[in-house]
Chains A and B, each alone.
Chain A
């Protein structure tokens, strides 16, 4: 699997490149800013782009903007945005109604090789990845007459993992549950919150995130 990488910190860029190479990915481009990344992607489209949100020249959301542009011009390329901010707002910027192949991950996570390569593979396959920290912020919000209080602890865990963009299969593995049990929990969560199950996993993520952001 071919990966293009962009981060203005050379040490971090090289470190991530090495981790990905060790994990069996082929790092085909290493860019120091968004413009360079876009040029490399147009010249030789990879399967996945891993990009830092904050890069020169403005150090605001150049990486995020580049990721959205790539999703416009090359919808087949998966984009994974790395960020130092636990902010749902940025994550949701990547997810329009037909979102696929996009992810928002805290930079810290790259140290967990399994998590990093899992996220890269999932966005490459068209899935959505939302950082657990971002989901925790959304789920942990204090609400008056909180509808999430009507969920059991297990149901809340299932809800959180769903919001991270994981499939039922992944939920089974994460929570050590049987597929039937997971399906029952998912149905129960949707019923209790008054949500309709989407036709696919991505729609499901979007529905859950939209609900949590209300």
Chain B
């Protein structure tokens, strides 16, 4: 590719310097600079954005620019080639402008504009060559002194068509820019403003030629177009490569989200994506014309990003993947808090409807017993029941055996009270860390409760194995199966970096298996 760049540059230089005509130094420099700028930027763009065709189009603009320099060689054939391709670069430029940044023609409108642009160049130039009374080669690169007798009619027609076409193109680009969201504007910025400058200078140059202004005016105008043409490919290249630069922002995002979810995730993501209109939707996304990218973790949709459709989908997906991890953690933390709150509510209800109610009636009975002492026995019975309820409640909240005596005794106690027959197949001899023991206990407790409620199992088998710091809890029943998930347990096991698997084919019983490593080791 560098060979193409250097090679064509050298050929162009040779044509201008040794072509046989006297070409002013600024013209040589500008002509070389425009072509090299397009080809160089195009090569770089094609390399960095293989998904876009714009790089190739930029190279084509540069090549078309250089081909017309054949007209600077004092030779009949070269002159013909130069004239035929004199305005070809403008058509390729139009092609690039219309299709940037994808470089691909996607609509009928684009196809029409691009076809007309090409149609106005080579065929018209060839036709002109065939009919025009030109005597011998002339330097056509530097605008030659216009004879007072004026320009050929066909050239006037072509120029006016060109002006109309470029005017339409400019109008179209500006409306496209105005209608775009901030993301679209950011992407279109280089092409619109650079393109507008080129179109404007080209149109002014044409108008100057049509108006027959003196070369002293026309030549600097031509040069100003070329000066803009030198800088513009670099702006296009920056626009194309920026998406790549944006991707490095994904890495920074992942690092900053890893440190904890920010208070305002939306604005952090909006900053990374450069899309202030970004929304995060938890739950169903209403049908929208905007872009929707889902945050997914472990095959579950956690939330959706509703964003400017102009954003590069790959870029949004990368951002969404980073955010999904953080959101998953946040949702898990939220579920844990909610589960804790729900447990508190349940304790309050149990206390209020149970022991507290009984104690009130004890108080009442004691008051009545002041008159009828035979009621004392009733008060005592009621009080005993209140105590029983409090004892069961306390046990349910936290099994004191777990701390005092360890997992084995605590699970045996659980098994002895289980509503469905349960067997403790195996429990580690040694004590595990407190958090590992608690996790084992509550996995078994929850799985047992679940089995008793829904499984219609005849028996539940419980086995806990601890080997090299890896703890496996297995609770399997021979019931009806069909259990989908045990959410609270999932979070509890995940909190130790482990995983919970519920295998419950309908009619074949349920196996709940938790695996995690004991954090003590």
Question: Interface of A with B (CB < 8 Å)?
Answer: 60-61, 84-90, 108, 111, 137-138, 141-144, 146, 213
Q: Determine if A142 and B401 form an interchain contact, defined as CB atoms under 8 angstroms apart.
A: no
Question: Nearest residue in B to A85 (C-beta to C-beta)?
Answer: B400
Q: A60-B403, A89-B405 are in contact. Are A141 and B391 (CB under 8 A)?
A: no
Question: Nearest residue in A to B390 (C-beta to C-beta)?
Answer: A84
Q: List chain B residues, Cβ under 8 A from A141.
A: 415-418
- CB of B127 within 8 Å of the partner chain: no
Q: List chain A residues, Cβ under 8 A from B391.
A: 84-86
- CB of B14 within 8 Å of the partner chain: no
List 29 A-B pairs, Cβ < 8 Å: A60-B400, A60-B403, A61-B404, A84-B391, A84-B394, A85-B395, A85-B401, A87-B409, A87-B413, A88-B413, A89-B401, A89-B412, A90-B404, A108-B384, A111-B380, A111-B384, A137-B416, A138-B416, A141-B415, A141-B416, A141-B418, A142-B418, A142-B421, A143-B421, A144-B421, A144-B423, A144-B458, A144-B459, A213-B412
Q: Tell me the smallest distance from the CB of B412 to a CB of chain A, in Å.
A: 7
Q: List chain A residues, Cβ under 8 A from B417.
A: 137, 141
Nearest 9 CB-CB pairings of A with B: A89-B409, A142-B421, A141-B416, A144-B421, A144-B459, A60-B404, A61-B404, A108-B387, A143-B421
Q: Tell me the smallest distance from the CB of A210 to a CB of chain B, in Å.
A: 13
Number of A-B residue pairs with CB-CB distance less than 8 Å in the complex they form = 47
Give Cα distance in the complex from A88 to B414, angstroms. Answer: 11
Give Cα distance in the complex from A137 to B441, angstroms. Answer: 19
Q: List chain B residues, Cβ under 8 A from A137.
A: 416-417
Q: List chain A residues, Cβ under 8 A from B493.
A: none
Q: Tell me the smallest distance from the CB of B405 to a CB of chain A, in Å.
A: 6
Question: Interface of B with A (CB < 8 Å)?
Answer: 380, 384, 387, 391, 394-395, 400-401, 403-405, 409, 412-413, 415-423, 458-459
Q: Tell me the smallest distance from the CB of B140 to a CB of chain A, in Å.
A: 102
Give Cα distance in the complex from A178 to B421, angstroms. Answer: 36
Q: List chain A residues, Cβ under 8 A from B400.
A: 60, 85, 87
Give Cα distance in the complex from A123 to B412, angstroms. Answer: 27
Q: Determine if B422 and A142 form an interchain contact, defined as CB atoms under 8 angstroms apart.
A: yes
Q: Is the interface of A mostly helix, strand, loop or mixed?
A: loop
Q: Tell me the smallest distance from the CB of A4 to a CB of chain B, in Å.
A: 24
Q: Tell me the smallest distance from the CB of A11 to a CB of chain B, in Å.
A: 15
Give Cα distance in the complex from A89 to B403, angstroms. Answer: 13
Q: Tell me the smallest distance from the CB of B96 to a CB of chain A, in Å.
A: 80
Q: List chain A residues, Cβ under 8 A from B387.
A: 108
Q: Tell me the smallest distance from the CB of A29 to a CB of chain B, in Å.
A: 26
Q: List chain A residues, Cβ under 8 A from B409.
A: 87, 89
Q: List chain A residues, Cβ under 8 A from B421.
A: 142-144, 146
Give Cα distance in the complex from A85 to B423, angstroms. Answer: 22
Q: Determine if A87 and B458 form an interchain contact, defined as CB atoms under 8 angstroms apart.
A: no
Q: Tell me the smallest distance from the CB of B444 to a CB of chain A, in Å.
A: 15
Give Cα distance in the complex from A90 to B403, angstroms. Answer: 13
Q: List chain A residues, Cβ under 8 A from B416.
A: 88, 137-138, 141
Give Cα distance in the complex from A86 to B384, angstroms. Answer: 14
Question: Nearest residue in A to B452 (C-beta to C-beta)?
Answer: A142
Q: Is the interface of B mostly helix, strand, loop or mixed?
A: helix
Q: List chain A residues, Cβ under 8 A from B404.
A: 60-61, 90
Question: Nearest residue in A to B403 (C-beta to C-beta)?
Answer: A60
Q: Tell me the smallest distance from the CB of B73 to a CB of chain A, in Å.
A: 102
Give Cα distance in the complex from A82 to B412, angstroms. Answer: 21
Give Cα distance in the complex from A138 to B417, angstroms. Answer: 9
> Given A87, A89, A142, which contacts B420 in the complex, CB threshold below 8 Å?
A142
Q: Determine if B401 and A87 form an interchain contact, defined as CB atoms under 8 angstroms apart.
A: yes
Question: Nearest residue in B to A64 (C-beta to C-beta)?
Answer: B404
Of B405, B409, B416, B419, most A-chain CB atoms within 10 Å: B416
Q: List chain B residues, Cβ under 8 A from A143.
A: 421
> Given A60, A61, A90, A142, which contacts B419 in the complex, CB threshold below 8 Å?
A142
Extra contacts besides A85-B401, A90-B404, A142-B421 (15): CB < 8 Å:
A60-B403, A84-B391, A85-B391, A87-B401, A87-B409, A89-B401, A89-B405, A89-B412, A89-B413, A138-B416, A141-B416, A141-B418, A142-B419, A144-B458, A213-B412
Q: Tell me the smallest distance from the CB of A138 to a CB of chain B, in Å.
A: 7
Give Cα distance in the complex from A86 to B396, angstroms. Answer: 13
Give Cα distance in the complex from A141 to B424, angstroms. Answer: 13
Q: Tell me the smallest distance from the CB of A195 to a CB of chain B, in Å.
A: 19
Give Cα distance in the complex from A90 to B416, angstroms. Answer: 14
Q: List chain B residues, Cβ under 8 A from A88.
A: 413, 416
Give Cα distance in the complex from A38 to B448, angstroms. Answer: 42
Q: List chain B residues, Cβ under 8 A from A138.
A: 416
Give Cα distance in the complex from A142 to B421, angstroms. Answer: 5
Question: Nearest residue in A to B394 (C-beta to C-beta)?
Answer: A84
Question: Nearest residue in B to A145 (C-beta to C-beta)?
Answer: B421
Question: Nearest residue in A to B412 (C-beta to C-beta)?
Answer: A89
Give Cα distance in the complex from A30 to B394, angstroms. Answer: 28
Question: Nearest residue in B to A92 (C-beta to C-beta)?
Answer: B409
Q: Tell me the smallest distance from the CB of A47 to a CB of chain B, in Å.
A: 29
Give Cα distance in the complex from A196 to B385, angstroms. Answer: 37
Give Cα distance in the complex from A207 to B384, angstroms. Answer: 31
Give Cα distance in the complex from A61 to B400, angstroms. Answer: 10
Q: List chain B residues, Cβ under 8 A from A108.
A: 384, 387
Q: Tell me the smallest distance from the CB of A85 to a CB of chain B, in Å.
A: 6
Give Cα distance in the complex from A85 to B419, angstroms. Answer: 19
Question: Nearest residue in B to A107 (C-beta to C-beta)?
Answer: B387
Q: Tell me the smallest distance from the CB of A63 to a CB of chain B, in Å.
A: 12
Give Cα distance in the complex from A196 to B163, angstroms. Answer: 115
Q: Tell me the smallest distance from the CB of A122 to a CB of chain B, in Å.
A: 22
Give Cα distance in the complex from A13 to B510, angstroms. Answer: 50
Q: Tell me the smallest distance from the CB of B127 to a CB of chain A, in Å.
A: 100
Give Cα distance in the complex from A101 to B404, angstroms. Answer: 24
Q: List chain B residues, Cβ under 8 A from A84.
A: 391, 394
Q: Tell me the smallest distance from the CB of B41 to a CB of chain A, in Å.
A: 77
Q: Tell me the smallest distance from the CB of B479 to a CB of chain A, in Å.
A: 13
Q: Tell me the smallest distance from the CB of B383 to a CB of chain A, in Å.
A: 8
Q: List chain A residues, Cβ under 8 A from B423.
A: 144
Q: List chain A residues, Cβ under 8 A from B405.
A: 89-90
Q: Tell me the smallest distance from the CB of B420 to a CB of chain A, in Å.
A: 6
Give Cα distance in the complex from A144 to B413, angstroms. Answer: 17
Give Cα distance in the complex from A191 to B404, angstroms. Answer: 36
Give Cα distance in the complex from A141 to B391, angstroms. Answer: 18
Q: List chain A residues, Cβ under 8 A from B420.
A: 142
Give Cα distance in the complex from A144 to B478, angstroms. Answer: 12
Q: List chain A residues, Cβ under 8 A from B458.
A: 144
Q: Tell me the smallest distance from the CB of B376 to a CB of chain A, in Å.
A: 11
Q: Tell me the smallest distance from the CB of A159 to a CB of chain B, in Å.
A: 16
